[in-house]
Amino acid sequence: MKKTLEQLKQKALGEIQRINDSEGLKNLETEYLGRKGKITKVLREIKDISEEMKPVIGKLANEIKIELTDAIKTADSKFSGKSSTDKGFFDPTLPGIRSAEGHLHPITQMLERIWDVFRSMNFDIVDGPEIENDYYNFQALNIPQDHPARDMQDTFYLKKEKNKSVGKYGELLLRTHTSSASQVRTMEKNKPPLRVIATGKCYRRDEDVSHTPMFHQFDGVAVDSDITFSDLKGTLHHAMREILEKDIKVRFRISYFPFVEPGAEFDVTCTICNGKGCPTCKNTGWLEMGGCGMIHPNVLKAAKYDPKKHQGFAFGFGIERPLMIKHKIADIRTLFENDARFLKQF
Ligand code: DAH
């Protein structure tokens, strides 16, 4: 019995050394000294031993109990969370606990940059609804029902109300571009001269490394009585240089958009290779940015402007694209996954 007690003591002392938290020590105390503990169990057998051994074992058992209790107490004082401040000591040189600081999402940062650039050129910032109707999203922009240009802008439609005809404005849908906000909606409420930009969320049935069903766009419009294509070129060149914060060139390629005539696509010098040619620009040295042109007379008429007196330019592009170019982001989807490790980098 004496041997068993000694062995239990050694085992418990060894374990105390290895335990590294208060909870572990508490468990150990119960395991050895609790009511059903290993040492208590041995002591219960004391009634069966000879009379002269009883006091010897009893004494030993008590000593072991005291020794283990002390060892547990000493070990526990290391983890019981008594810090230097508990003893009235404050060390002002220790680093404080910083609260995590957030910042604007990179898309918002880009939007704010664009607003600043165009505000400095005397453009007003306007807004339009994200739930748009067929008229403003398509028809007023010279894209009638069944026009093939609708194919590239398939979107999400809202459920029609039962027994209600859709009327002149047509079905409700999620807007496919901000052209609906900057062009007819704003033009019909304001007389020329007019300079506005519209930014915001747009929606299309698209998804791959460079497309998401929800994305952001930016559209600009200027209408006056003496606006020419060179005004458009000058405006876009200056704006692109300021937005991308690089001394880039702008190139125009003739293209077709139903709401402008003539229409063009515009490219900027590839900011990755500085125009030398790389995989991002498919070795052309240019990156496609968006569309532009002189506002079509039918769009001016839809806003009740007289195309003989007034003319204007319009342009539009996605917000994600310049952002991806500026920060060399390979997959557009990472912008909307809300992964703080990604967002912290901006
Ligand atoms: N709205 C067009 C699109 O989303 C882009 C665009 C092209 C806007 C030409 C314009 C423009 O204002 O003049 O594909």
Residue 287 to residue 71: CA distance in whole angstroms: 73
Report mean pLDDT in 10-residue bins for the chain, 346 residues: 88 89 88 89 84 86 89 82 58 87 94 96 96 96 93 90 83 96 93 96 90 95 97 96 92 96 95 88 92 97 96 96 85 92 92
Instruction: Give the number of the atom of ligand 1 that is nearest the alpha carbon of residue 220.
Output: 12
Instruction: Examine residue 137 and state whether it is found in any structural domain, yes or no.
Output: no
Q: 300 to each of 23, 143, 258, how far by Cα in Å? A: 78, 14, 13
Instruction: Examine residue 335 and state whether it is found in any structural domain, yes or no.
Output: yes
Residue nearest to atom 7 of ligand 1 (CA): 291
Residue 131 to residue 198: CA distance in whole angstroms: 15
Q: How far is the CA of 178 from the centre of ligand 1 (A)?
A: 8
Asked whether the beta carbons of 253 and 290 are under 8 A apart, the reply is no
pLDDT at 339: 93
Instruction: Examine residue 72 and state whether it is found in any structural domain, yes or no.
Output: yes
Instruction: Examine residue 87 and state whether it is found in any structural domain, yes or no.
Output: no
Residue 336 to residue 329: CA distance in whole angstroms: 12
Provide the number of structural domains found in the chain. 2
Instruction: Examine residue 241 and state whether it is found in any structural domain, yes or no.
Output: yes
Instruction: Give the number of the atom of ligand 1 that is nearest the alpha carbon of residue 176.
Output: 4
Identify whether residues 201 and 276 lie together within a single domain. yes
In the three-class reduction of DSSP (H, G, I as helix; E, B as strand; rest coil), residue 26 is classed as helix
Asked whether the beta carbons of 272 and 281 are under 8 A apart, the reply is yes
- Token reading at 25: 């020590």
Residues lining ligand 1, Cβ inside 6 A: 177, 179, 219, 257, 260, 290-293, 314-316
Residue 33 to residue 69: CA distance in whole angstroms: 9
pLDDT at 87: 58
pLDDT at 21: 83
pLDDT at 209: 82
Closest CA to 195 of 307, 314, 304, 295: 314
Q: 46 to each of 17, 33, 116, 291, how far by Cα in Å? A: 29, 16, 89, 96
CA 161 to chain centre: 35
| 185 φ/ψ angles, rounded to the nearest 5 degrees | -55, -45
- Which of 39, 58, 78 corresponds to the end of one domain? 78
pLDDT at 104: 96
Pairing of strands 214-224, 194-203: antiparallel
Q: Which domain holds residue 10?
A: 2-78
Instruction: Examine residue 262 and state whether it is found in any structural domain, yes or no.
Output: yes
Identify whether residues 49 and 121 lie together within a single domain. no
pLDDT at 85: 47
Q: How far is the CA of 216 from the centre of ligand 1 (A)?
A: 13
Residue 106 to residue 269: CA distance in whole angstroms: 22
Half-sphere exposure of 32 (CA within 13 A, CB side): 28
- Token reading at 21: 């938290």
Instruction: Examine residue 63 and state whether it is found in any structural domain, yes or no.
Output: yes
Residue nearest to atom 8 of ligand 1 (CA): 316
Residue 218 to residue 220: CA distance in whole angstroms: 7
Identify whether residues 185 and 280 lie together within a single domain. yes
pLDDT at 315: 97
Closest CA to 125 of 28, 199, 18: 199
Identify whether residues 216 and 73 lie together within a single domain. no
In the three-class reduction of DSSP (H, G, I as helix; E, B as strand; rest coil), residue 29 is classed as helix
Q: CB under 8 Å to 319, separation ≥6 — which residues? A: 107, 110, 111, 114, 199, 215, 216, 217, 218
